[in-house]
Each structure stands twice: as C-alpha cells, then as structure tokens.
C-alpha cells in the first residue's frame, strides 16, 4: 500500500512538472534496445532529437541473461548463424579428403570452444552497441519500461529503483520471447528454449527439438551438423507459411543428413530420471499411440510471445490483437494513441525479421523528426532459413500465387541442379532446386522466387532487388549468369512445370 501511495505521488508530481513547464525530458523515448529500437534511436539522435532508449532483459526460466542488442544479437540471428557456420565446417571437413586434404584421426567437435567463441563475439557486439549509443548521444538506460500516461514512462532497475521519464513521442520496440507449451508437465522445469541454447556452457547432447518452423529447424540443423543426435518433433507440417514443395526439400535434406523427424506427434510430459536423462512421452496424433524416449535436452521451439503484458498498455487503451497479444499498428507504425508508436516483432502483421525492424525504425525516426514522409514497404521482403541446406525465398509461394491468380494464371519455371562443390565431394544434390513463379500472361511478372542450396541468403539478396523493381521472366532471361555458381541456375531457368519435362540441369 505504502509503495502504491509513493508511486502515485511520484506520478502526480511528475505529470504536474511536465504540465507546468510544458516540456518533456526527451523528444523520443524508445522502450526496447533490440534491432529496431537501437536503429530508431540512433537515427533520431542523428537528426537532432533528444533520445533515450530503455533496454532490460528478464532472465529465462533457466537463469540465462545477456546484454544490450535484443534478440538478434544475443539469442537469434548472430549466434544462430555462427553455429550454423560451425555445422557447415563439419560438412566441409567430411568433403575435404575428396579434395586431397589428409586428415589424421577422427575429427570431433567441442561445444565449449564453439560456444565460448560465439559468446565472446556476442559480448563484443553488446559493447559496440553501448559505444555507438554514447557516440550518437542517445541516453541508454538499463531499465524495464512501462507506460504511465501518453507522455510518461516508468523505468525500474534490476535493484527495483524507479525512474520517471517524459517524452513527446514514445516508441515500443520490445520484441518477443520464446513460448513454453501449456499443460505439459515438466516442460518449464526440464526444457530450454532458443533463449538458452546459445549460452549453454556444456553441449546439450542428445536433443529433442519440439516445433517445426524457422527456429526449430535451424537449431536442429546445426545440432545435427556438429554431430549431436537430434530429433525434431512435428505436430503438423514443417515451415508453415512457406512454399510446401520447398519445405519438403529442406526436411528431406535434413533427414538424409542425419536429423530424425517424428511427424504428427505432440509431447505429453517430460520427466527427469534418476540418471539425469530426460524422459519424454508423446502421442502420435494419427494413431493415438503413445511413445517415449530419453534425451539429454529438450528444446522448445514452439513460437514466440510478444512482450506486451507488462507495458501498461491497457491503462492507455492501446489496441492489441487479442489472439496474438501484439500491438495493432497503422502503416506509419502508429498505435491507437497518437504519439505512441510500435514496430518490429511487437507489432501485428509484420514479418519477424531483423532487417524489417531496422528499416521500419529508421524510417519512423525520420518521419517523427519531420525529415521524411516515407513509409516502410513490407512487400517482397526476402528471407532465408539457415538449415543445413539453406532455403531462400522472396515473394509468393506457389500455393499463394495459385490462390491469388488461379492455376492457369501462373507459370512455374523450375530446375534441379547440382552445385559444382558437390560433384568432387560426391554429395547428393537431390534437394538443390530453383523455382521461379511468374504471371502467365503479359510480361510474365515474377511473383515468387525460391532457392535451396549453398549460400541461399547471398543468392536471394540480389534477386529481391529484381522483385522490388517488378522484374519479369524475360528480364530474368536477359540477365547473363556468373559461371560457375549456383545463382546462375536462376537466370538459366527455362522448363515449366506445366510442360512435364525433366527439370534436371545437365552439363554447363
């Protein structure tokens, strides 16, 4: 009660101070120092705004915590891509003898060495972000923020100390955190999430990964690649929302290279045995049969929940989508309260990707500083799933193109190709594939482009420019390839699915 009274007094005093002087502490207060929040606050400061950014990390159920920079830097893209690289090196070591390398003895992987190196890199990025904020004159506050009114934010430190801050505009960029499944005994006590895996000091050992989207498949991919016994438990389909054929190629490749898949199954409980092993019981939803196996680790990769619950949004009537708990935003990232904005993973209907959060944040900062009216264009955002065989895409899936244009309204060009790197190494290339989906009539505008193979992200980035510019199939064909690459297969593509001809690329 005493705390409440003290809090109310602080609140009244502060609102009074702001109203009396008519001046706020800051032009812009950003809650959340992740990909989006940092980009936005630095841009705003460069444009002459007085800016503060609040960032605070609640430790995971296992006690894992990290520094400034948000999901991507600490528990997402960066450690994930580095561990993916560790796995790719393992594959390269297996290829190496075919290329003449003489490797004495067995090559094995040491988790601790990899994890320490990755964690040290992440820590250097945390430091880099702090320095950049200082250099750009952004005030960084390691506080957990919540809204008091439309111009006031309450920040609470780890020690519980309160700070009240006021600003003309407030931005919410608090991202999301991994979910645990509901009603599975032992899930939280014995399981970990992607917020823990990259910070483990010891190898997770034999691992069950539950879930089948980006996070699940990427983690299962690198765990398999560094030599761990890894199983993915899929309750429905893999990579929901992606092109079905491409998703199939990704999981086929993973299966061929050692990841186990348990399809149509949901976990029931997790128990810790006296040996320390985790016993997982699950139900096969097709047969109703129950099964069990033991693992060293269970990784829940069952989606992410937005960090909206403790922000005090209800007090201000900020509209949320009641199904996802994300903030409803307009095209200009505005919320239902005029001077409060939200973007990145916290906002409804946006891709959960770092580059979109960064770009949306920078553009918002420019608009708020009165320097621009440009809105974020969320169309044709390219993405890559960093599975052992990478999958990059931009634009529509074949299913979505067919839904929008009808089966007769699209032409699908495709090719199975063999990366040159696979030949000497005698690697199977059955899942290396390119698909270009075009409108059937007129100039055959390209609607979607899909690629599985080496360096899919690097391949896809340039082609995404093509789609932004409205590229057509004939322009694709006018483009001369770079030989010998995998990307050249995209510009050489000529066999339509409709023709029924064999799409296997032969020769140069």
Tokens standing for residue 470: 């409205």
With CB under 5 to 8 Å by kind, the binding choice for 453 among ligand NAP, ligand FAD, none is none
Closest to ligand FAD by CB, 139 or 268: 139
Closest to ligand FAD by CB, 88 or 410: 88
With CB under 5 to 8 Å by kind, the binding choice for 212 among ligand FAD, ligand NAP, none is ligand NAP
Measured from each CB, the residue nearest to ligand FAD is 34
Q: Which among 84, 405, 414, 483 is annotated as catalytic?
A: 483
DSSP letter for each residue of 273-291: -TTSPEEEEEEETTT--EE
Of 175, 225, 395, 503, the one binding ligand FAD (CB under 6 A) is 175
Spatial strand order of the sheet with 290-295 comes to 265-272, 278-284, 290-295
Cα-Cα end-to-end distance for the chain: 78
Q: How far is the CB of 36 from ligand NAP (least distance, A)?
A: 13
SS3 55: coil
DSSP assignment letter at 180? P
Q: How far is the CB of 182 from ligand NAP (least distance, A)?
A: 7
Bind-site residues for FAD: 81, 145, 345
Bind-site residues: 81, 145, 211-218, 303, 345
- Residue 294: CA count within 13 A, CB half-sphere: 8
Establish if 32 lies at the interface with ligand FAD (CB under 6 A): yes
Q: How far is the CB of 15 from ligand FAD (least distance, A)?
A: 20
Tokens standing for residue 377: 């264009």
Handedness of CA 106, 430, 209, 194 (dihedral sign): positive
Measured from each CB, the residue nearest to ligand NAP is 213
DSSP letter for each residue of 466-507: HHHTT-BHHHHHHSPP-TT-STHHHHT---BTTTT---B---
Q: Give, as ranges, the residues between 197 and 216 that touch ligand FAD (CB under 6 A).
A: 215
The answer to whether 414 is a known catalytic residue is no
Tokens standing for residue 166: 């006021």
> CA-CA distance, 43 to 330, in Å (whole number)?
21
- Count of residues interacting with ligand NAP (CB under 6 A): 25
Q: Give, as ranges, the residues between 286 and 305 that touch ligand NAP (CB under 6 A).
A: 301-304
Number of H helices, E strands in the chain: 16, 22
With vertex at residue 75, the alpha carbon angle to CA 313 and CA 395, rounded to the nearest 5 degrees, is 80
Q: How far is the CB of 150 from ligand FAD (least distance, A)?
A: 17
The answer to whether the CB of 279 falls within 8 A of the CB of 294 is yes
With CB under 5 to 8 Å by kind, the binding choice for 488 among ligand NAP, ligand FAD, none is none
Establish if 345 lies at the interface with ligand FAD (CB under 6 A): yes
With CB under 5 to 8 Å by kind, the binding choice for 318 among ligand FAD, ligand NAP, none is none
Please name the residues in contact with 307: beta carbons below 8 A apart, sequence gap of 6 or more. Answer: 32, 174, 175, 176, 177, 346
> CA-CA distance, 381 to 356, in Å (whole number)?
8
Establish if 221 lies at the interface with ligand FAD (CB under 6 A): no
Establish if 33 lies at the interface with ligand FAD (CB under 6 A): yes
> CA-CA distance, 215 to 246, in Å (whole number)?
17
Nearest residue to 146 (alpha-carbon basis) of 7, 305, 38: 7
Of 90, 191, 225, 344, the one binding ligand FAD (CB under 6 A) is 344
Q: Give, as ranges, the residues between 365 and 394 that touch ligand NAP (CB under 6 A).
A: 383-386
> CA-CA distance, 234 to 220, in Å (whole number)?
12
Closest to ligand FAD by CB, 316 or 420: 316
Closest to ligand NAP by CB, 215 or 360: 215
Catalytic residue set = 483
Residues that bind ligand NAP (CB under 6 A): 181, 210-216, 218, 235-237, 240, 266, 301-304, 351-353, 383-386
Sites of contact with ligand FAD (CB under 6 A): 31-37, 54-57, 70-72, 76-77, 80, 144-145, 173-175, 194, 215, 307, 310-311, 344-346, 352-355, 357
């Amino acid at each position: 009660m005493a705390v409440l009274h003290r809090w109310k007094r602080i609140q009244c005093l502060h609102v009074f101070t702001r109203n009396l002087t008519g001046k706020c502490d800051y032009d812009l207060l950003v809650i959340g120092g992740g990909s989006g929040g940092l980009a936005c606050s630095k841009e705003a400061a460069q444009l002459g705004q007085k800016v503060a950014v609040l960032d605070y990390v609640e430790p995971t159920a296992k006690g894992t915590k990290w520094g400034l920079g948000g999901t991507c830097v600490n528990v997402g893209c960066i450690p994930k891509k580095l561990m993916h690289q560790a796995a790719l090196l393992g594959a390269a070591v297996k290829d190496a003898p075919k290329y003449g390398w003489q490797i004495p003895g067995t090559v094995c992987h040491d988790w601790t060495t990899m994890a320490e190196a990755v964690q040290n890199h992440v820590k250097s990025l945390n430091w880099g972000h702090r320095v950049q904020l200082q250099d750009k004159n952004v005030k960084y506050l390691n506080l957990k923020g919540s809204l008091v009114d439309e111009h006031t934010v309450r920040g609470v430190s780890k020690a519980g100390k309160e700070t009240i801050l006021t600003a003309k505009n407030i931005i919410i960029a608090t991202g999301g955190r991994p979910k645990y499944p509901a009603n599975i005994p032992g899930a939280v006590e014995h399981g970990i999430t992607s917020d823990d895996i990259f910070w483990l000091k010891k190898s997770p050992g034999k691992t069950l990964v539950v879930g089948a989207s980006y996070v699940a498949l990427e983690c299962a991919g690198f765990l398999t690649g560094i030599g761990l016994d890894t199983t993915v438990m899929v309750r429905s389909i893999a990579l929901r929302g992606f092109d079905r054929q491409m998703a199939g190629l990704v999981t086929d490749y993973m299966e061929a290279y050692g990841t186990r898949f348990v399809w149509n199954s949901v976990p029931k409980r997790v128990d810790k045995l006296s040996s320390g092993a985790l016993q997982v019981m699950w139900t096969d939803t097709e047969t109703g049969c129950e099964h069990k196996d033991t693992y060293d680790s269970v990784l829940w990769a069952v989606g992410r929940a937005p960090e909206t619950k403790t922000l005090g949004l209800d007090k201000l009537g900020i509209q949320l989508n009641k199904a996802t708990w994300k903030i409803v935003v307009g095209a200009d990232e505005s919320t239902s309260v005029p001077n409060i904005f939200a973007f990145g993973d916290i906002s409804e209907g946006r891709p959960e990707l770092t580059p979109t959060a960064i770009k949306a944040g920078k553009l918002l900062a420019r608009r708020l500083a009165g320097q621009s009216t440009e809105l974020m264009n969320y169309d044709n955002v390219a993405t890559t799933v960093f599975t052992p065989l990478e999958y990059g895409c931009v634009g529509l899936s074949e299913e979505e193109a067919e839904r929008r244009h009808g089966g007769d309204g699209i032409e699908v060009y495709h090719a199975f190709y063999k990366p040159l790197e696979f030949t000497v190494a005698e690697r199977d290339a059955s899942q290396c594939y390119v698909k270009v989906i075009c409108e059937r009539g007129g100039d055959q505008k390209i609607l979607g482009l899909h690629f599985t193979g080496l360096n899919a992200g690097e391949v896809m980035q340039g082609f995404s420019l093509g789609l932004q510019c409205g590229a057509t199939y004939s322009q694709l064909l006018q483009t001369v390839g770079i030989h010998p690459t995998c990307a050249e297969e995209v510009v050489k593509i000529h066999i339509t699915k409709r023709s029924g001809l064999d799409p296997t690329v032969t020769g140069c």
